[in-house]
Amino acid sequence: MNELRISSKKRAKIKMALEGPSGSGKTYSSLLLAYGITQDWSKIAVIDSENGSADLYAGLGGYYVLPITEFSPESYIEAINVCENAGMEVIIVDSISQSWDYLLDYHASLLGNSFTNWAKITPRQNALMRRILSCNAHVICTMRTKQDYVLNDKNGKQVPEKVGLKACMRDGVEYEFTIVLDLDITHRATASKDRTGLFMGRPEFTISPKVGAYILRWCQTETTNTTINNNQTTQNTQYNYGNN
């Protein structure tokens, strides 16, 4: 039987996602967050499925890059294992949208009933998400977004209308993460999900290493009812995630 213990946030490893359109700065912002968490570039690894985009920011510091060219969930799981076994403290998965694209293409290639064929897809996607969540390191995943549409009735015709951006991932994947930050084309971030209380309801901001440091502090602080204002909080913990 497993040991019964008191709950402790100090055991927590943050699992977060950055989503945004191409050019919004997901890779760069992930690296800044990772450095804020570790303060050590040599403890950061990027699993790069974006054709070498992680190397564009090598001037920031000596982080590790693990390129992958085969985008099955199993390839991602293997890459996470390599990074974890190497003692990385933060693993950036850039991006997990490639794995979903792979599964969609695989599903389209299957013969037979399209609905029942999802039984061959879902377990593989679930296995990847379980590996991310169980990883003994902080994990930052990037996800591409695309314009989403709904069909509305106009004069008896179904007309598509834009309703915002949607992550290129399985529906509901955002519920798996502790924090989801949305980046716009001007590199400004807002939280669409936040179980830490650090970002929800806050104005948009630019990601810097300071933001990563605040996230780490949350992980290491036992108090769970910290609420953030612009310059002060309860519990005497100062969080001011400005643009500095």
Domain span including residue 176: 9-236
Mean pLDDT: which of 11-15, 138-142, 195-199 is highest?
138-142
The Cα-based distances of 182 to 19, 137, 159, 194, 239 in angstroms read: 5, 22, 27, 11, 20
Domain count, the chain: 1
Asked if the structure places residue 243 within a domain, the reply is: no
Asked if the structure places residue 241 within a domain, the reply is: no
Residue pLDDT, tens place only, 105-155: 888 888 888 888 888 888 998 999 999 999 999 999 998 875 443 455 666
Q: Which residues contact 208 (CB under 8 A, 6 or more apart)?
A: 32, 36, 241, 243, 244
Asked if the structure places residue 15 within a domain, the reply is: yes
Residue pLDDT, tens place only, 90-100: 999 998 888 88
Element (H, E) at 155: none
The confidence score (pLDDT) of residue 121 equals 86
Asked if the structure places residue 3 within a domain, the reply is: no
